[in-house]
Amino acid sequence: MSEKKQRLEIVTPQRKVFSEDVKFLVAPGTEGELGILPEHAPLITSLNIGIMRVQQDSDFIKVFISGGFMEVRNSKVTILAPSAERAEEIDVARAERAKQRAEDRLAAKHADLDVMRAELALKRALLRLRAVNG
């Protein structure tokens, strides 16, 4: 007997990041993490910046997403995100530079600093690094 699977598609304005059958996924919802199994009840929700964990067989794949929306319907999960990257696609050096820039901006405390924007940039960089490094 084969295990049930569901189709997961992660789409950004630039490309389709992921389109495969999976057993299970955990997504960063705005109200907390959401675990989705095949035949889940229909659902539409917003997503937070975070790391999705996707189980295909016995392995888990990590995917960084920068927010967006998720629709679950008929054993198909569609994620629409401003940006998304599989862990193996993340440029670690670029994420380290982005982290350093954000930290420098926050430490400098210039009068015209957009604190929220700098904090979000830091959060994105840290999550990208966590997706790669665990």
Which CATH number does the domain housing residue 108 bear? 1.20.5.440
22 and 55, same domain (yes or no)? yes
80 and 97, same domain (yes or no)? no
18 and 69, same domain (yes or no)? yes
Total domain count, the chain: 2
pLDDT tens, 81-134? 999 999 999 999 999 999 999 898 888 877 787 888 888 888 999 999 999 887
> What's the rounded Cα separation, in Å, for the pair 22 and 49?
21
Any domain includes 67: yes
61 and 117, same domain (yes or no)? no
Range of the domain at 112: 91-133
103 and 119, same domain (yes or no)? yes
Q: Which tokens hold the place of 61?
A: 């794949």
108 and 70, same domain (yes or no)? no
pTM of the model: 0.84
How many C-beta atoms lie closer than 10 Å to residue 112's C-beta?
4
- Beta strands 32-36 and 24-29 are antiparallel
